[in-house]
Amino acid sequence: MNWAAYRARFIEPTRIQAGVRFWQTHRSALERAEREYGVPASVIVGIIGVETLYGQNTGNFRILDALATLTFHFPSAHPRAAARQAFFQSELEQFLLLTSRSGADPLAIRGSYAGAMGLPQFMPSSWAKFAVDFDGDGRIDLFGSPMDAIGSVANYFKAFDWRPGMPTHYPVGLTPGQTDMDSLMAPDILPTFSVANFVGKGAALNGTALQHNGPLALIELLNGPDAPSYVAGTENFYAITRYNWSSYYAMAVIELAEAVAREMQSKP
Ligand SMILES: [Ca+2]
**145 CA to centre of ligand 1 in angstroms:** 6
Q: What is the pLDDT of residues 213-261, one digit of tens each?
A: 999 999 999 999 999 999 999 999 999 999 999 999 999 999 999 999 9
Query: Domains of the chain by range and CATH?
Result: 1-58+118-164+244-268 (1.10.530.10), 59-116 (1.10.8.350), 169-233 (no CATH)
d(CA 97, ligand 1 centre) in Å = 18
- Least trusted range by pLDDT, from 38-42, 99-103, 118-122: 99-103
pLDDT band at 268 (very low <50, low <70, confident <90, very high): low
| pLDDT given at position 267 | 75
Looking at residue 1, what is its pLDDT? Answer: 86
Residue 135 Cα to ligand 1 midpoint, Å, equals 5
Model confidence over 172-224: pLDDT tens digits?
999 999 999 999 999 999 999 999 999 999 999 999 999 999 999 999 999 99
Phi, psi for residue 244 in degrees, rounded to 5: -150, 120
Instruction: For residue 255, indicate whether it is catalytic.
Output: no
- What is the whole-number distance in angstroms between the Cα of residue 35 and the centre of ligand 1? 19
Catalytic residue, candidates 12, 34, 51, 255: 51
pLDDT exceeds 90 at position 27: yes
Structure pTM?
Answer: 0.96
Contact 140, 132 (CB under 8 A): yes
Cα 6 to Cα 54: distance, rounded to the nearest angstrom? 18
pLDDT at position 135, please?
98
